[in-house]
Structure 1
Amino acid sequence: MKIQEECKSRFESLIANFIDTNSYFANSLWEEIETRYSEPQRTYHNLNHLYQMLGEYDLVSKELKDPEITLFALYYHDLIYDVTSKTNEDESANIAKERLSVLKIENERIKTCMEHILATKSHRLGDRCHPDTSYFLDIDISILGSEETKYYEYANNIRKEYSIFSDADYQTGRVQVLHHFIENIRLFHTDIFFDRYEMRSRHNVKLEIHSFLKGELI
């Protein structure tokens, strides 16, 4: 309950700058987020994920050019999550656009929010990306730098989300994703997250890949 209450409280504080938080629309905004992130098939991309990201966001919020928009991106980036779909990020970004437009947020700021969300497709930066996008991507994958036991829990929760796939198919897809991360010179774009999580993240990712080679899941 603490996690749900904290996520709700932080969201209400965010939208209080734009709308009466006691209004029906304000309540509907949170209810939509809570309902989506509480879908039964979500064993990782749920409110726990948002809560963990909020903790990482707090560590770097003072470094951000537009912390409000980064926080909106945090709440909306996985609003749509279907493991069989390739348009989750696009759909989530479009919903964020609609909701922020009703809040009368400037178009350029809305575009930045969408940019943050869409960047999670590849977790790579474009040539002219907003400076906060690098922080947002690092916040999103900070779980990779967890202590081993927490990483094991994360890896197993991801497997549960893909339970409709066979072990063989899941292994192929998951290893591809993990290699996508470690083939980069650095997993983390910002020095703050690089110094904090890079070495441990590489260790964890390689450990997971090795577990698949042994025919097991860590």
Structure 2
Amino acid sequence: MNLHEHWLESWRQLGASATDESLYLQLVACYSEPHRHYHTVQHLTECLALLEAVEDQADRPAEVAIALWFHDAVYQPKRHDNEQKSADWASRSILAAGIDHSVADRIHGLILATRHNAAATGRDAQVLVDIDLAILGASPERFAEYEAQVRKEYAWAIGPLYRRGRRKVLEEFMARPTIYSTESFRSTREAQARINISRSLAALR
């Protein structure tokens, strides 16, 4: 996938008359920060590729695309307001591009849905959140890589602290009736996600 071409096309579909090249470079720089190991350009690229496969399920695929571009724009592992800051940045950027406030508000809400603290509501939020959580149902090899990447991002957390926190996150996903909200992700990733998470929880114990 050519990220720059995807960026230009997403803004064109959103209705922007011009795109901010410096904003693109800022975002790529953010996803390339040295403290990131999972929330990187790799994750962004995987998410955008998944959207291409399921964009017909979204009501406003261009809005989902821009939300994906910004959803981890701000990422500091020790903070709890990353999604809020990312959503605020997206909203400011959309308004600066001369796009309607209603679009900015919807994308702001989509990014906040990636906090994963409640079930996603609305087709676009469900598609976005399922894409963001697709890694849970990845192949065992990619899931193992993801687990190692997340651990590196939390290298500052000593063993017991990390295991408790990670266990809590994974147990919350396992407790859901379904991890994924859309049928396409449930049919292709739900079973594997539960296998992956179960193995991870066993290792954490």
Which residue among 45, 66, 70 is the counterpart of 1:72? Answer: 66
Give percent identity, aligned residues only.
27
Give the drift of 1:47: 0.4
The AA in structure 1 aligned to 2:95 is S
Taking structure 2 as the reference length, the TM-score comes to 0.95
Selected match of 1:15 from 11, 15, 18 = 11
Q: What is the SS of the residue equivalent to 1:174?
A: helix
Paired residue for 1:46, among 36, 40, 49? Answer: 40
- Is the counterpart of residue 149 in structure 1 residue 147 in structure 2? no
Match of 2:175 in 1: 183
Q: For structure 2, list consecutive stretches of 5 or more residues without a partner in the other structure.
A: none
Q: Does 1:93 align with 2:87?
A: yes
| Cα distance in 2 for residues equivalent to 1:132 and 1:150 | 26
Aligned counterparts of 2:77 and 2:130: Cα–Cα separation in 1: 22
CA distance in 1, matches of 2:45, 2:117: 20
Q: State how far apart, in whole Å, the 1-side matches of 2:119 and 2:171 are.
A: 17
- Extract structure 1 runs of 4+ deviating beyond 6 A: none
Partners of 1:123 and 1:137 within 8 A in 2: no
The count of aligned residue pairs is 203
Residue 104 (structure 2) pairs with residue 110 (structure 1) = yes
- 2-structure distance, mates of 1:75, 1:174: 25
Equivalent-residue separation in structure 1 for 2:150 and 2:83 (angstroms)? 17
Alignment match, 2:190: 198
Q: Which amino acid aligns with 1:171?
A: R
CA separation in 1, counterparts of 2:59 and 2:4? 24
Deviation at 1:180, TM superposition (A): 1.0
User: 1:178 aligns to what SS in structure 2?
Assistant: helix
Residue 195 to residue 123, structure 1, CA distance change in 2 (3 Å) = farther
CA distance in 2: counterparts of 1:122 and 1:146, whole angstroms:
18
Q: Would the aligned equivalents of 1:78 and 1:89 in 2 still touch at CA under 8 Å?
A: yes
Distance 1:80 1:88 in 2: 5
Match of residue 136 from structure 1: 128
Which one of 20, 28, 32 corresponds to residue 22 of structure 2?
28
AA aligned to 1:79 is A
Structure 1: unaligned runs, 5 residues or longer: 214-218
Give the superposition deviation at 1:172.
0.6
